[in-house]
Amino acid sequence: MYFSQCFGNHETIYMIRQYWWKILGVFLFTYVLIVGLLTPLKPGIYSVSHLTTSVGTTLPLDVQSYNTHYTKANKLRAWLKIDSIHILEASNIVVQSDNQLLVTLDIPAFLPNEQLTQAATLIIDNDYEGHSILPAAIFISKSKDTTNVALGHTLWSMSEMNNITHTKGFKFPYQNILNETSRNLFFHVAIWFAMFTLLIIALVYSIKYLMSSEMRYDIYASSLTSVAITFGIVGMLTGSFWAKYTWGQFWINDVKLNMSAVALLIYFAYWILRSSMKDQDQRAKVSAVYSVFAFAALIPLVFVIPRLTDSMHPGNGGNPAFSKDDLDNTMRFVFYPAIIGLILIGLWISSLSIRYEIIKETYYLRKAKKRTI
Amino acid sequence: MISSLNNRILKLFTITFALLLVANTQLAAQASEDFFHSIGKIYVVVAVIVITFIGICAYLFYLDRKITELEKKIK
């Protein structure tokens, strides 16, 4: 009775007490864990033995691949590709094991252009499981005097690449260097998306508080922001760990990383601000205003500035995000449920914090009332 | 006399064994990359999931402690 006197029988309180969306969140995240981890990757090329070669040589390329079964393949083909018209087919392919090939390439004596060095993409196709591509696998160099563009064009246009086998079944795309860690998309990236959504909801409640001065809006806003900051810390830690084994360091001097750290520090200050004030109304008002400013800073810091300049982090200036070939529909199938699942779990945790604050308020109000009665 | 000889042999054996062990691990580390690089870096994904889980659980522990303190106050 007293509870509803203080906080009303509001729609939000009713929703907080429901279980269905909490179970849905857990179900979605479990689905993400299972499908995200068990789905295999498409076949890919892990490494090649030679990074450079010169014109007019026979190149015995030792190829290490990932997730392949070359001993089961009937037809194996390999090409070096410069662009859509200049392709060189391998003269011989020897299967050394399920994951290893010896590809012999007879590099023509001339390049089809005037460059001194040309990067070539390696493509391997096997009829058992599909094709794999290693972009800029080999750099072909020539000396200044051996230039004959016309002859080079003829020599490089002799092979054809057709009837490429497509991989059957539900498999995630293979990515160079990342390999299996592309699955971190479902955890690291989804957590940041969930954090951002929680902060938007917190912003809405902060503004509602400023307009109406109802204490419950402050409780909702602070709980949501707290959980969002926790998600931000987790996102930072997971990103840092991921970077250690793909970029080589736990932290690099990069725009996106530094700006995200600044944004997170601004939100840490929100916590410190709240804990520094004793008076409830003052605390609520100041933190609501700070919350608006912090969110207004978050947008340009995390989204706008990194895109204006070069960054190692995917999705920012000079570095394409997981897109087109990288994030095809197979990964989206798990990525979107991951975001929704994490948002729901974040909402569940913040609902627990909200209920705690409400019970505390009710208890202290009741205690205060008892003195006057 | 005999026991001191035994002691010396035991010392020599232990030192040789330890040196071989260290040399072997170093050789192995040169030949293959460390644990997190193995099997296409799948363990990096495992570690990321563990960090996510522990991070969320840490906040839940904090909430739990707050609720326990309030329950004690109310009692």
pLDDT digits (tens, 9 = 90+) for A111-136: 888 888 889 999 999 888 899 999 98
- 2-31 of B, contacting A, C-beta below 8 A: none
Find out whether A35 and A96 touch, Cβ atoms under 8 Å.
no
Q: Does the beta-carbon distance from B70 to A359 stay under 8 Å?
A: yes
Other CB atoms within a 10 A radius of the CB of residue A252 amount to 15
**In contact, A151 and A110? CB cutoff 8 Å:** yes
pTM score of the predicted model: 0.85
Question: For position B29, what pLDDT does the model report?
Answer: 38
Tokens representing B40 are: 């296409």
| Contact residues, chain A, for B33 at CB < 8 Å | none
- How far apart CA A95 and CA B3 sit, in angstroms, is 60
Q: What is the pLDDT of residue B27?
A: 43
Residue of chain B whose Cα is closest to the Cα of A348? B60
Question: What is the chain A residue with the closest CA to B33?
Answer: A245
> B37 touching A, CB under 8 A?
yes
C-beta atoms of A234 and B52 within 8 A: yes
Q: Which of B48, B63, B74 sits opposite A188 (nearest CB)?
A: B48
Q: What local confidence, expressed as pLDDT, does residue B57 receive?
A: 94
CA torsion sign for B21, B25, B31, B32 is: positive
pLDDT at A41: 92
Distance CA A197, CA A354 (A): 17
A178 vs B contacts (CB less than 8 Å): 41
Note the pLDDT of residue A16.
Answer: 86
Which pLDDT band, with edges at 50, 70 and 90, does B25 fall under? very low
The dihedral over CA atoms of A285, A287, A289, A293, expressed in degrees to the nearest 10, equals 180
Mean per-residue pLDDT, B48-64: 94
Which residues, given as ranges, of chain A have pLDDT below 70?
1-9, 317-327, 371-373
Q: Do A181 and B41 touch (CB under 8 A)?
A: yes
Beta carbon pairs, A and B, within 8 Å: 77
Kindly report the nearest CA distance between residue B25 and chain A, in angstroms. 21
Taking CA–CA distances from A177, the nearest residue in chain B reads: B40
Kindly report the nearest CA distance between residue B22 and chain A, in angstroms: 25
- Predicted pLDDT at A288: 97
Model pLDDT, residue A166: 87
CA distances to B6, B12, B13, B14 from B2, in Å? 6, 15, 16, 18
Q: For residue A361, what is the nearest residue in chain B, using CA coordinates?
A: B70
Cross-chain Cβ contact B70/A245 below 8 Å: no
Q: What mean pLDDT, rounded, does chain B reach?
A: 77
